[in-house]
Chains A and B, each alone.
Chain A
Amino acid sequence: GAVVSQHPSRVICKSGTSVKIECRSLDFQATTMFWYRQFPKQSLMLMATSNEGSKATYEQGVEKDKFLINHASLTLSTLTVTSAHPEDSSFYICSAQDSDTQYFGPGTRLTVL
């Protein structure tokens, strides 16, 4: 149980385009989901907390107009990177909360050319 999927697993896009990443909880409902960014050999950096039916809460320094989060249902949250630039290239990981525990997706490798 407690499986979280992410799609796509990797994406390459041109600078200036937008990219959408989906995060789904497959066998449980998640009122709260989280979006993280991870740089090579570093720990997770929380970007935002996504609550179903309400606006996401962004961490300090994260541009909400650049990283759009939509949590439209209890099993789906999406992260859209708008007008992507090479510095947005990173590993993005989502998690979904089931009771006290966060369960993570497999991650999405974004490369912006």
Chain B
Amino acid sequence: EDQVTQSPEALRLQEGESSSLNCSYTVSGLRGLFWYRQDPGKGPEFLFTLYSAGEEKEKERLKATLTKKESFLHITAPKPEDSATYLCAAGDGGFKTIFGAGTRLFVKA
């Protein structure tokens, strides 16, 4: 069964304390691995799409990487405005997208 698992459920960091969020996936025929950011009361905001193992993408303090079983979202020197829920999703070969439960990130000044 296709599945996406994110860990940890919640992560509390001090400003400037770098860390990584994990997304483990089991999907038949991965079409793409997606990362989104969601702020409270808003729709998810698209961050990255990764297509193949070894691929990396960066945007400001965020870098997403992909292996055959996992994806990581690395946050370098986070700021309080990076606080949000980060969602990972995997698209299968049948054009279905499976979302993880998300990681709630809190960055304290």
Contacts and interface: CB of A to CB of B under 8 A. Distances in A.
Contacts of B104: 41
B102 interface: yes
Q: Main SS of chain B's interface residues?
A: strand
A103 interface: yes
A6 B31 contact: no
Contact of B41 (A32, A42, A91): A91
Interface string B64-108: 000000000000000000000001010100010101111010000
Interface in A85-100: 91, 93, 95, 100
A43 B101 contact: yes
Given A104-B45, A109-B41, A43 B34 contact: no
B43 A100 contact: no
Interface of B: 31-32, 34, 36, 41-46, 49, 51, 87, 89, 91, 95, 97, 99-102, 104
Given A43-B100, A93-B44, A102-B34, 5 more contacts: A43-B87, A43-B101, A100-B51, A107-B41, A109-B41
